[in-house]
Structure 1
């Protein structure tokens, strides 16, 4: 969906929201006028969708574009960590593993109840909780309405963020959270599971039964919402996500077939072995070869549930790290 009014040049926007201390008054006034016109259009769409004037007035009170949000959206990382650095320094550090195991133990009764209802591994639920928000300790400090309005107005991905902004307004209208508590990442991902508003609408659950889907402050709602996400994404209860493997002699990473899916027993016949050198089980479970990005030679065999993990966040290294962390939790 195109913006309702022509976009201001990026330099005018940055000046208008105070990036440069000596911003011309005219540029600032133009930016503010453009943002207010944009909000008027959102208000009109929201009212047609049944959002009350009271909800809109509270959500948009004092709203201004956030320059830090634009900066983070525009930032392009240079290079990238190797798989081994990402795995060992970021995702599977000794501290994260210890915290994951402790969080699992502290919430074992709750996690068993969630597993009973949704038939999703509690180990992967805890792993997602850990990598997304450090077990609820870092859920983001941006106002979600402010962040989404900024990104929808600024225009690089205007249609996507406008859709998410309207979804966030519907969440406020439903009464699950107040505008003040609706905080998240610079991109609008919310609460302990880091759900975008549209995913909140579809997948957040009221597991503690208090009448609100509170993924910010209710651990029960947050963890059950993660499990519901995985259930709806096709998680197969009781199946592994994948495994590290030792490839056969003469195996080359270059040109390796990472697309074909075949039974695990076929990989065993080709000479792939368990990481301890033992044989792979002659199982029928659907399997494909997985190679980390920027990896140093580690090879994985992935199953259906790895693809489900990657529906939460698509990068292959993310999916592998979550799978490995879930194994450490177990």
Structure 2
């Protein structure tokens, strides 16, 4: 797990590709509308939390936080039960690279990425010139982290980080994030009301945790504030470019590419047995500093290539554990949807909504409601 920039890896762990920030990517599912927080992510009264905040105050002041900053930051803050629930229920799961790329480089994400790239091309080109990081790579990270700013997260960062610091499971880490968040407020970069992010405290267009914000955030617009939350993504994109550059990005070197498709020389990896192989360079490893996952780095690189006009992967993936290809899974979802069973989309990724639809269909025909897909189930749906 990589904690240099943010707490969660977005790749193959529970917070998948910005799920911590509002669910930017989720197979077979839908994200809540921005600003529509579930009830368990709203602050509630908790006397233990209140006592912890009172005890934390002198520690914060001893680290340079002013009374005024502390009071303003905690004026509307409170204990958020859903933050603790999500932190404690992070069951590890694995997603195949094929499924991951189906989500990370979906048709919608590619189309939105090309539009975002065109809309902000002047800024992105300036960032590439200044930091040496490919404009398409910066755009792809933006797309994976917050769906190009559509899903930055709406949970108050002071409430989220103080709740997790009070909870104590990773108390020291989250107290350090809370102190950093208070210093950001004290510096005037943002107000407490606008300092929102994921339930775990990752913030802005490209999801920086507070300590990484302190180390790498950039005021690219020159307005005196490093505003990674603004509707204008310039500061956030610049911060991402600065992060990659300071972590060793080599100007002009590709991240890698699919073997047999004009990929550069580099280390050969095959993340999914029987699937495409990739030749990767040192810049691939720099992307992994953003999130220590091969799947994430390939997702960023491949999405960047598609945003830049490249085509899909040439090699195919083998059938899944149920004996189904991606086309089979898409057909299964489409046929369930045609019967009025909502799979949440037909992307070939069997997520919770698809499994529920399968289970409902299985029950309707007298089969055990396992929720597992199968070739026989596909035949029955014909």
> Are residues 1:300 and 2:278 paired?
yes
Deviates more, 1:72-81 or 1:37-46: 72-81
Q: Output one character per residue of 1:61-102: Cα deviation in whole Å (capped at 9) or x when no partner.
A: 2432111111111223464321101111x1010010111111
Aligned partner (choices 291, 295, 300) of residue 317 of structure 1: 295
> Are residues 1:64 and 2:94 paired?
no
* TM-score in terms of structure 2 length: 0.66
Q: Output one character per residue of 1:137-187: Cα deviation in whole Å (capped at 9) or x when no partner.
A: 110010000000111111111111111110000000000000000000001
SS in 1 for 2:129: helix
Equivalent residue, structure 1, for 2:228: 215
Q: Is the 8 A contact 1:233 1:308 kept in 2?
A: yes
* TM-score in terms of structure 1 length: 0.77
What is the CA–CA distance in structure 2 between the aligned matches of 1:295 and 1:196, rounded to whole Å? 34
SS in 2 for 1:215: coil
Equivalent residue, structure 2, for 1:289: 268
What is the CA–CA distance in structure 1 between the aligned matches of 2:240 and 2:93, rounded to whole Å? 31
Equivalent residue, structure 2, for 1:191: 204
Equivalent residue, structure 1, for 2:121: 108
* Structure 2 stretches lacking a partner, 5+ long: 1-38, 309-382
Matches for 1:204-243 after TM superposition, within 5 Å: 204-217=217-230, 218-243=232-257
Q: Is the 8 A contact 1:84 1:296 kept in 2?
A: no
What is the CA–CA distance in structure 1 between the aligned matches of 2:135 and 2:186, rounded to whole Å? 32
What is the CA–CA distance in structure 2 between the aligned matches of 1:96 and 1:36, rounded to whole Å? 42
Aligned partner (choices 182, 191, 203) of residue 178 of structure 1: 191
What is the CA–CA distance in structure 2 between the aligned matches of 1:109 and 1:63, rounded to whole Å? 39
SS in 2 for 1:187: coil
Q: Output one character per residue of 1:103-143: Cα deviation in whole Å (capped at 9) or x when no partner.
A: 11111111111112111111100000000001111100100
What is the CA–CA distance in structure 2 between the aligned matches of 1:211 and 1:173, rounded to whole Å? 13
What is the CA–CA distance in structure 2 between the aligned matches of 1:110 and 1:81, rounded to whole Å? 34
SS in 2 for 1:321: helix
Equivalent residue, structure 1, for 2:95: 81
Count how many residue pairs are aligned between Structure 1 and Structure 2. Answer: 266
Equivalent residue, structure 1, for 2:175: 162
Q: CA deviation at 1:209?
A: 0.6
Equivalent residue, structure 2, for 1:127: 140
What's the RMSD between the two structures over aligned residues? 1.9
Equivalent residue, structure 1, for 2:4: none
* Structure 1 stretches lacking a partner, 5+ long: 1-17, 20-27, 246-273
What is the CA–CA distance in structure 1 between the aligned matches of 2:174 and 2:301, rounded to whole Å? 30
Q: Is the 8 A contact 1:83 1:295 kept in 2?
A: no
